[in-house]
C-alpha cells in the first residue's frame, strides 16, 4: 500500500514536471501587427499621423518601399531606433526613438511594418514588397555583429516627403 502511494505520488510529480517543461518549451505566441502597433500608436497616434515637431507621420512610409534600402531602413528603425534631425512632411524632428529589438521578435517586427504600410500608409504590397521575418533576422544579426549603419545614416539615401 505504501509503495502504491509512493508510485502514485511519483506519477503525479512527473506529470507536473511534464506540464512545466512543456509550458517552458512551447513556442511563444507572436503578437499580430495590429497588436504591436498599439505600442507605436502611443507616440505616432492610432492613425499614424504623428504630432508635428514631436513624432513623425508614418503615413508616407510606403514611398520608401520601391527605393533601394527602403525596407532595410524601416526594419532598422524598429530594431535599433532612430535619433538625429529629420525632415518629414514639412516639419523638422530632432527626437529619439528607442530600439525595439529586445521587445519584439522577427515576426512581430515584420508584421508591424506590414501593418503600418498597409493600414496606416494604405499601400497595396506585392508579395515581394511585404517584409518577411527572415529579412528582419538578417538585419538583427548584422546589428548584433556591429556591421549595420545607424538608422539616421540609412535615411539620408531615401526620399521622403
Residues that bind ligand HEC (CB under 6 A): 36, 39-40, 42-44, 55-56, 58, 61, 74, 77-78, 82-84, 86, 88, 93-97, 100, 112, 116, 155, 160
Q: Is 89 exposed, middle or buried (0-12, 13-18, 19+ CB in 10 A)?
A: middle
| Residue from 75, 71, 92, 93 nearest 83 by CA | 93
User: Cell match 518601399: residue?
Assistant: 65
CB 143 within 8 A of CB 75: no
Read off the C-alpha cell for 1. 500500500
Distance CA 140, CA 137 (A): 5
Q: How far is the CB of 70 from ligand HEC (least distance, A)?
A: 10
Pick 93 or 148: Cβ nearer ligand HEC? 93
Say what angle helices 106-115 and 33-44 make with each other, to 10 degrees. Answer: 70
Pick 97 or 139: Cβ nearer ligand HEC? 97
| Residue from 143, 10, 125, 6 nearest 71 by CA | 125
Pick 23 or 132: Cβ nearer ligand HEC? 132
Closest residue to ligand HEC using C-beta atoms = 40
Q: How far is the CB of 131 from ligand HEC (least distance, A)?
A: 11
Q: How far is the CB of 116 from ligand HEC (least distance, A)?
A: 5
Q: How far is the CB of 65 from ligand HEC (least distance, A)?
A: 12
Q: How far is the CB of 144 from ligand HEC (least distance, A)?
A: 19
Pick 42 or 153: Cβ nearer ligand HEC? 42
Amino acid at each position: 500500500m505504501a509503495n502504491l502511494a509512493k508510485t502514485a505520488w511519483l506519477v503525479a510529480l512527473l506529470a507536473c514536471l511534464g506540464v512545466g517543461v512543456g509550458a517552458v518549451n512551447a513556442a511563444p505566441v507572436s503578437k499580430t501587427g495590429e497588436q504591436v502597433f498599439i505600442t507605436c500608436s502611443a507616440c505616432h497616434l492610432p492613425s499614424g499621423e504623428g504630432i508635428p515637431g514631436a513624432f513623425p507621420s508614418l503615413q508616407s512610409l510606403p514611398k520608401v518601399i520601391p527605393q533601394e534600402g527602403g525596407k532595410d531602413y524601416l526594419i532598422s528603425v524598429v530594431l535599433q531606433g532612430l535619433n538625429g534631425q529629420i525632415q518629414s512632411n514639412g516639419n523638422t524632428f530632432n527626437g529619439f526613438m528607442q530600439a525595439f529589438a529586445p521587445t519584439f521578435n522577427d515576426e512581430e517586427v515584420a508584421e508591424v511594418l506590414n501593418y503600418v504600410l498597409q493600414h496606416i500608409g494604405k499601400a497595396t504590397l506585392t508579395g515581394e514588397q511585404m517584409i518577411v521575418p527572415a529579412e528582419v533576422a538578417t538585419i538583427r544579426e548584422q546589428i548584433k555583429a556591429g556591421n549595420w549603419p545607424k538608422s539616421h545614416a540609412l535615411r539620408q539615401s531615401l526620399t521622403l516627403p
